[in-house]
């Protein structure tokens, strides 16, 4: 692995890992985080990847939220991992963009709640390109989309006009870990994900949650609902939100 400092004093090294098994990506991000903590890697890093089918269990996972047995997961080709990130159970798989920001918060703000809001903001910024207005859900971490539908008017009401009713669907999940104020783990953004795989769990431990994707939510005719285009937009949004200069890097 080779990272070379560029002229920009504050850079975001963006590394496209293409498709990688979760175990390999986990080992890699732990290694990069260790070298970021030591200073061997001089700038913040964003690893972008797609995973084969995998379910991960965070520190807050209640096993009741994993509704499929290990045998059922294996039958569907889904691996299972316990990890140190925050949050409950979630799924990664083809068509989903997973990002691992390895950020030294000592250079930004030593506040994990602030950091989570910044990760959400970067995804919200990227989603606007697809005509999607991402929103936060009070009390939860992640990015959601909201639509309004007319409420059936009550003929007994004084003014029987339809009233908007908000419904929210979850588009991106976030779970992070930090040591010495350096973060790893990160976000999972559904792009063209087969959402049926979320049926093996209660996603993020939220009862009755509806998962969705960019492909499903994008404005009709909006371009770029692909993993490569989403990678570019997300990298640009992260650099903008964290006030960094994006620099593409590869691993040797």
The tokens describing 31, both together, are 């290694």
Q: How far apart are CA 51 and CA 240, in angstroms?
A: 26
Task: Specify whether 204 is catalytic.
Answer: yes
- The residue annotated as part of the active site, out of 201, 204, 211, 239, is 204
Q: Which residues are known catalytic residues?
A: 204
């Amino acid at each position: 692995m080779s990272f070379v400092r560029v002229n920009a004093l504050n850079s975001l090294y963006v590394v496209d890992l293409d498709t990688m098994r979760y175990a390999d990506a986990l080992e890699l991000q732990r290694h990069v985080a260790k070298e970021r903590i030591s200073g061997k890697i001089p700038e913040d890093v964003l690893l972008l990847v797609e995973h084969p089918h995998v379910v991960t269990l965070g520190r807050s996972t209640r096993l009741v939220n994993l509704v499929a047995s290990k045998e059922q997961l294996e039958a569907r080709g889904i691996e299972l991992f316990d990890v140190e990130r925050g949050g409950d159970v979630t799924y990664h798989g083809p068509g989903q963009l997973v990002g691992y920001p390895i950020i030294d918060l000592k250079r930004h703000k030593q506040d994990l709640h602030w950091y989570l809001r910044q990760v959400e903001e970067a995804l919200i910024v990227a989603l606007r390109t697809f005509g999607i207005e991402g929103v936060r859900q009070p009390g939860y971490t992640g990015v959601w989309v909201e639509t309004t539908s007319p409420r059936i008017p009550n003929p007994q009401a004084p003014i029987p006009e339809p009233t908007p009713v908000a419904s929210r669907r979850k588009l991106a999940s976030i779970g992070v870990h930090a040591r010495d104020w350096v973060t790893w783990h990160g976000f999972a953004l559904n792009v063209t994900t087969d959402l049926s795989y979320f049926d093996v769990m209660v996603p993020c431990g939220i009862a009755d949650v509806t998962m969705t994707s960019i492909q499903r939510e994008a404005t009709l005719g909006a371009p770029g609902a692909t993993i490569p285009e989403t990678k570019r937009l997300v990298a640009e949004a992260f650099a903008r939100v964290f006030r960094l200069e994006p620099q593409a890097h590869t691993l040797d």
